[in-house]
Structure 1
Amino acid sequence: MRFRDGMWLVAEGVRAEYAEEVYSFTKNEDGKGLSLLCPTRQIRSRGDVLNLSTLSVDIEAVFDGVLSVETTHWQGARRLGPNFELFPGGKPETSNASITSNEKATTISSGSISASISSKAHSFDIRFHATDGSKELTSLLSRSVGLAYTPGPSNPLQTGDMRNMQHYIFTQTTLSVGESVHGLGERFGAFNKVGQTVTLWNADGGTSSDQAYKNIPFWISSRGYGVFIDTPERVELEIGSERSCRVQTSIEGQRLKWYIIYGPSPKEILNKYTILTGKPGKVPSWSYGLWLSTSFTTNYDEATVNSFLEGMQARDIPVEVFHYDCFWMKAFHWCDFVFDAEKFPDPKAQIARLKSAGLVKKVCVWINPYLGQASSVFKYAAEQGYLVKRKNGDIFQWDLWQTGMGLVDFTNPDAVKWYVSCLEGLFDTGVDAIKTDFGERIPTLDVEWFDKSVDPKRMHNYYAFIYNKVVYEALQARYGKDEAVLFARAATAGTQRFPLQWGGDCESTPEAMAESVRGGLSLGLGGFSFWSVDIGGFEGSPPPWIYKRWVAFGLLCSHSRLHGSNSFRVPWTVDNDDKTDQGCSAVLAKWTTLKARLMPYIYAQAQESIKLGIPLSLRAMCLEFPEDPTSWFLDRQFMFGDSLLVAPIFEESGTVEFYLPKGKWTNFFTKEVKAGPGWFTEEHKFDTLPLYVRENTVLVLGKQGETRTVYDYTEDVEVCTYQVGELATTTLVDSTGKEVAKLEVGSKADKKSLDALKGKWNVVQVS
């Protein structure tokens, strides 16, 4: 939201007041915080303290490398929930906090980061910097902290009635020359957000607009710091767009709190951010295999499902997970958790037959948190008080999506227990994973929740967290802590704890594939390790060339699912069963097999990604190469783990342009070595793309012809070395993710480390 009209004028209908000086400050009793009293005009006489507003700016040392900054106008405003669950893994000790003063400034330090408040009279000047003085990060300067009214009152008496007046708090942190900003959730526009206006408000808007399903109030700067905005409500950001040299953050309310996190590397920033909001959950090795969906509005039954899986098996394309989308239930009955008896007369037996026949290992079904009134489940939930209500006591209903649908009220503990019991019925049927769709269009007006302490506006984004948490923990309770898998669409800060997420409704176009890449890159910078996409695009029917290009991209995401809207995504329906080596079936089989061979590398990298709170794939190039300025602008390629570079192809011709950072890179397919930094252009058929291995890499592969996702990652493997120097290492894990050994290769390697390998393994020097 913009409060000014250019640099000199206030926006029409707005009254804005700014912290003009730090009049005084007090130290917290524990010595880890400062409270600054900041009047909205300079105090030069005793009369100046009357008839004006003040802002409190509280700065606190949180833990090493992290400071919190909270700005408040009226302290008496209620603190309504919900709030983000911070430090779910425990809060680190704040052992290196200190407050020091000299004639120039008062400085509060939290380990490696400090904030210095200028001692100059009648000034407002707060500088955030590395404690050792090596780097200045950002600042709060003149007209950078304030409050605003709209419509703007002409005198203070009018603020006695705030019912028809909005009140905002805002801060503006400085942007340095050349600084770029990244993250803020799954955003589909330009990767660098400078110049953009961003609203953090979950919406079902597809992948081709400024709306997003996953709005994460956290961003990373190329200068080595990140900012986490600690509120689930609507946040408006002007990122170099109101003032080109500042990032403005504003909320409607009386308080705005954010944390500034010093890395200095982006990996360290994400590690600290995910200490705050939670580390990603672990997902089982079977989930990395190919998922096949029925698609959305297609007509399917038990025979259709069988034909899909038998067809995939006949074409040597292993399916790890089969997904039943919406119409496993009757029309108008979503979501009543009951298989359509006409289409699936005995779902439990059918699922058991699919698994026993080896056609699929696991089964997933689609759900959402809405109840259409045509189902008896709606009546029951309404009678029990399990649905969100209007303020007059009616059930909140509308006809958007499902006729007369109600919304499950997850603030009601009894509603949660009931919802979990419905899920347990699915687990009894043989369902292993859940696609938690929707959860974005959560009403905020004329709404009353069971928990009266929550603010409906704060519940809008937060609903995604509580909805996914309920389902994820139900899966954990049934199958084990590390065996739970979601396929979730909506998210907010902390939802990375409940993997995995997918990119939502994209079109079947190359432009939409590029949008999806940008969305996955941005979400990964919010602590999400695992991400997927609708291979082939969701909307429309992809022509064969787009389907095959998307298959190559999709099988190099952490998770891979074939899914569409009104057309099937089994390969033979896309190209009339082209049986050549460049046909859809052959291409899908090749990429599925490649991912299976890569599993020793993928699963080891996954464990490290969870530990650090970084993406497995898509991993933005700047996470691995932060010192390379180009890496902060690359949004058509990514890293898969720390050693594989992937450049999807968006042209039917197979022409692709990509960038290699400094070092030697080996083409995985041709073994050709190229030296970076530099841009390169290649042409590819459908069974290859630019897949480059970083120098000094030890890449452990499954045996030739391996098609399974779950196998012994230490047996019959191929240990490939790429431009290895005196010593290169890699971690070997088993199929549960447990570390087995650290393999060493090179002239200074401990050869005994290879003793962890079993069977007919070999070491191959590739380049």
Structure 2
Amino acid sequence: MKQTNHQFFDFLDFNTNLPLDAEVSRLWKACKPIDIFENGLGVALTVPFQCQLPSNDIAPDMAIPRKNYCISLRALGEKIMRISIGFDTEIAETSAMLEIADDIQEIKLNIHKSSEKWKVIDVNGTLRAVFDLSNPEIDHWSDLLPAPQESMQAIFYPDGKKAVTVSAYDQFFPARMDAMCLSFIEKNDVPTKASISFHAKPDEKFVGTGERFSKMDLSGHTFQLKNQDGQGVNNKRTYKNIPFYLSSEMYGLFLHTSTYSKFSMADFSTRSVQLLVEEPVLDIFLIGEDSPEKIIHQYKNLTGFPSVPPLWSYGIWMSRMTYFSEDEVNEICDRLRVEDFPCDVIHLDTGWFKTDWLCEWKFNSERFPYPTRFVSNLKKNGYRVSLWQMPYISEHAEQYEEAKTNNYIGALNEQTVQGGSNFSNLDYAGTIDFTYPKAVNWYKNLLRELLDMGVACIKTDFGEEIHLDANYHTMTSESLNNLYALLYQKAVFEVTKEVTGDGLIWARAGWAGCQRYPIHWGGDAAASWDGMAGSLKGGLHLGLSGFGFWSHDVPGFHGVPDFMNSVIPDNLYVRWTQFGVFTSHIRYHGTSKREPYYYPNIASTIRKWWKLRYALLPYIIAQGEKTTYTGFPVLRALLMHHPEDNMCWHLDNQYYFGDDFLVAPMMNSENKRDVYLPKGNWIHFFTGEAFEGEKWLRNFGATMEDMPVWVKEGAEIPLYPEAVNCTDDMDFKKTSIIKIDASFKGIWKLLHFI
């Protein structure tokens, strides 16, 4: 982006040198509505748009006639308003992103008109929108500057209480606007982009928008919602963009689109939240509620809830990049058992094929000569098998000609096979076309053979990016790129549940609706304190974007500075393990050795924490079930429980783990950190010491055997009271309950088997 001093045009990526362009581009601005009428259960407004002159000075081009378009308003129950406008384009009633709950029923809207205001009121008598037709109050004394342009003035009340106001006059003076109420851009008389702005209060805070590796309050940031390989967890790129945000003013906004978008969270203008979508449609769901959890619950009512993951998925997952043979895997699994490390899943990454990274969905016949027996024997030993694969086809894969001939992959306009890093879709010959039902069935059959032999889980790696220079059956590549993750993960989830009975995947990419198909992990974090901190930030924002289950690679995916070969420090391994124990799912994975017995100085400590993980499973499972019908994720930002506490809207390095635990991971080598205890009475989980909340603990220390974790006083925590090798050994009738009160002296004293 080339930044100028014209903020609004910078936000729109709009070239004001319009006469010099090969294509004629025009910007159109919404004016006062000229009509309002009933439209089914909803209402519609006729809004004229005025073309603007092609200059940096914003002014109407009176030589071009206005164009009229209709805005549709619908009330989905008592808490959601759907506001839609299409510029010469129909609005899709539904899509793969929407899975609207049965109890979300549209209710009738009525119109109340006066000379200066049009009110929209539902059948229950609740105010849902106001359109102000009055003129600004003027005391005229100067002709130095022109009068303001006519503008659409609108306030929406998604729940009848919370006012979400369109930014009618966000400007310095009329020729210097920082935001426009509602606008669209056309090229050669064809609308191509649309934008809307909502007023932001000076102290308003924003969270969500997907997996942001950013501070908690996103105010002052602009994000491009275009899925990409994140290439780590410490930059603006991200694997999971979600066109949904939550405001501290207690409203949420979901932009129903899969095309590339841009969200400016009071950044280009501190007075406005601005949305830009690269299609001539705006389809917005505004949600009003009393708490962040209820807002996210309503968002999930629109886009779907996750299913309950299987019990075994909550155990330890062991992996690295990669294991190359049956003998190697068996040796690792046997050694974990001999050395008393409980574990449930062994994951085979890129090396189980004939050629490393060459995904053909078949075991290497020399190194894995009897795969069905191999998988069966592991299952008898308490291990489920997870397999890596990707949605891209290599020109060297045995399925390539079949896929190409039958159009199962996007047909490339040009050959783009690069044969480079193996870390990009561009290294492959085509992307499986999940918009084509025959391709979906073909792909499912490839996985079905593996699942039939006993494989428990498929890792749906990649999917953030597709071949953009390819043709797909029912969508343009630009519209498909963000949505691709949803279609890809849906196919894998469905075939896995069909064959195994367990609905589960292990996914990296994400878009609206992907939360229906757990589990998602945080991508390729650096094995460093920065990587750990960035992972947590991403997980917190993802949880604020509707995702209930989330994991991360312990103790980071890649080495620093040597990507493949740097040694993982012992203290990082321990601290990241502790973080993993208090996450919905825990997997060890990375570019070098991750098995705990390769770290002899800390192996006994890791064993202790793994056993604690299994002891906590009754609690974790209960919290996991809760996320399948509420707005709560398992790992929660503090603001979800304390929205009235401004401090909690800024904290991104500690979190709630379920309802009762407050976790502050140690993310440095000093074994000290600042911790904020929110309102309440808290008991330290490892010492039993009592603390009063709503205050800071400065330089709070914790040895490597300990961790800053508190539990709400009075909480009752279910625990499993025995050591196990895996979840197959567990009989949950044995679960015991511990009361967190003055008699509690710390968890280590209770779990004598650790």
Using the size of structure 2 for normalisation, the TM-score is 0.85
Distance 1:7 1:507, change over 3 A: closer
State whether structure 2 residue 143 is matched by structure 1 residue 126. no
Give the aligned partner of residue 188 of structure 1.
213
Distance 1:643 1:713, change over 3 A: farther
- Provide Cα deviations, 1:189-231, integer angstroms capped at 9, x if missing partner: 2221111110111101221210111111111111100110100
Taking the aligned partners of 1:287 and 1:299, their CA distance within structure 2 comes to 20
Give the aligned partner of residue 31 of structure 2.
21
Which structure 2 residues correspond to residues 255-654 of structure 1 after superposition, within 5 A? 255-293=281-319, 295-296=320-321, 298=322, 300-331=324-355, 334-356=358-380, 358=381, 360-391=382-413, 397-399=417-419, 401=422, 404-445=428-469, 447-451=470-474, 454-480=475-501, 483-540=502-559, 541-565=567-591, 567-573=592-598, 575=599, 577-578=600-601, 583=602, 585-617=603-635, 619-654=636-671
Taking the aligned partners of 1:632 and 1:603, their CA distance within structure 2 comes to 27
Give the aligned partner of residue 691 of structure 1.
709
Task: Give ranges in structure 2 of 5+ residues lacking alignment.
Answer: 19-24, 53-60, 136-149, 170-178, 560-566, 743-749
Q: Secondary structure at the match of 2:455?
A: coil
Conserved 8 A contact 1:521-1:635 = yes
Taking the aligned partners of 1:419 and 1:7, their CA distance within structure 2 comes to 46
Taking the aligned partners of 1:660 and 1:6, their CA distance within structure 2 comes to 43
Taking the aligned partners of 1:250 and 1:2, their CA distance within structure 2 comes to 17
Give the aligned partner of residue 684 of structure 2.
667
Q: Secondary structure at the match of 2:242?
A: strand
Give the aligned partner of residue 116 of structure 1.
130
Conserved 8 A contact 1:148-1:167 = yes
Taking the aligned partners of 1:5 and 1:82, their CA distance within structure 2 comes to 39
Q: Secondary structure at the match of 2:625?
A: helix
Distance 1:498 1:159, change over 3 A: same
- Provide Cα deviations, 1:468-516, integer angstroms capped at 9, x if missing partner: 1001000111122xx1211001110001111110000010100110000
Shift of 1:94: 2.5
Taking the aligned partners of 2:700 and 2:336, their CA distance within structure 1 comes to 31
Q: Secondary structure at the match of 2:572?
A: helix
Give the aligned partner of residue 562 of structure 2.
none
Taking the aligned partners of 2:428 and 2:732, their CA distance within structure 1 comes to 54
Q: Secondary structure at the match of 2:120?
A: strand
Give the aligned partner of residue 244 of structure 1.
270
- Structure 2: which amino acid aligns with 1:190? K
Taking the aligned partners of 1:365 and 1:7, their CA distance within structure 2 comes to 48
Give the aligned partner of residue 202 of structure 2.
177
- Structure 2: which amino acid aligns with 1:674? F
- Provide Cα deviations, 1:76-120, integer angstroms capped at 9, x if missing partner: x46699943323543622346444344553232467772211131
Distance 1:271 1:241, change over 3 A: same
- Provide Cα deviations, 1:424-457, integer angstroms capped at 9, x if missing partner: 1101222011111011221333x21123xx2221
- Matched length: 688
Taking the aligned partners of 2:347 and 2:720, their CA distance within structure 1 comes to 27
- Structure 2: which amino acid aligns with 1:141? A
Taking the aligned partners of 2:729 and 2:117, their CA distance within structure 1 comes to 60
Q: Secondary structure at the match of 1:612?
A: coil
Taking the aligned partners of 2:73 and 2:577, their CA distance within structure 1 comes to 49
The correspondence for 1:86, drawn from 91, 98, 105, is: 98
Q: Secondary structure at the match of 1:515?
A: helix
Conserved 8 A contact 2:91-2:281 = no
Conserved 8 A contact 1:183-1:219 = yes
Taking the aligned partners of 1:646 and 1:104, their CA distance within structure 2 comes to 53
Taking the aligned partners of 1:361 and 1:714, their CA distance within structure 2 comes to 19
Shift of 1:29: 3.1
Taking the aligned partners of 2:590 and 2:679, their CA distance within structure 1 comes to 39
Taking the aligned partners of 1:632 and 1:168, their CA distance within structure 2 comes to 32
Taking the aligned partners of 2:357 and 2:685, their CA distance within structure 1 comes to 49
Taking the aligned partners of 1:397 and 1:89, their CA distance within structure 2 comes to 43
- Provide Cα deviations, 1:646-666, integer angstroms capped at 9, x if missing partner: 111011231121111111001
Q: Secondary structure at the match of 1:490?
A: coil
Q: Secondary structure at the match of 1:328?
A: coil
Give the aligned partner of residue 136 of structure 1.
163
Distance 1:36 1:4, change over 3 A: farther
Shift of 1:700: 1.6
Task: Give ranges in structure 1 of 5+ residues lacking alignment.
Answer: 151-157, 725-762
Taking the aligned partners of 1:698 and 1:599, their CA distance within structure 2 comes to 14
Shift of 1:326: 0.7
Taking the aligned partners of 2:644 and 2:181, their CA distance within structure 1 comes to 32
- Provide Cα deviations, 1:533-567, integer angstroms capped at 9, x if missing partner: 000100114211111110000121100000002x1
Shift of 1:597: 1.4
Taking the aligned partners of 2:208 and 2:509, their CA distance within structure 1 comes to 16
Aligned CA-pair RMSD: 2.8
Taking the aligned partners of 2:451 and 2:251, their CA distance within structure 1 comes to 43
Give the aligned partner of residue 731 of structure 1.
none
Taking the aligned partners of 2:30 and 2:550, their CA distance within structure 1 comes to 45
Q: Secondary structure at the match of 2:270?
A: coil
Taking the aligned partners of 2:265 and 2:65, their CA distance within structure 1 comes to 33
Taking the aligned partners of 1:280 and 1:141, their CA distance within structure 2 comes to 39
Taking the aligned partners of 1:379 and 1:386, their CA distance within structure 2 comes to 10
Conserved 8 A contact 1:387-1:395 = no
State whether structure 2 residue 233 is matched by structure 1 residue 210. no
Q: Secondary structure at the match of 1:327?
A: coil
Give the aligned partner of residue 147 of structure 1.
183
- Provide Cα deviations, 1:15-55, integer angstroms capped at 9, x if missing partner: 7745453231222332422324133279xxxx979623445
Taking the aligned partners of 1:443 and 1:120, their CA distance within structure 2 comes to 50
State whether structure 2 residue 60 is matched by structure 1 residue 38. no
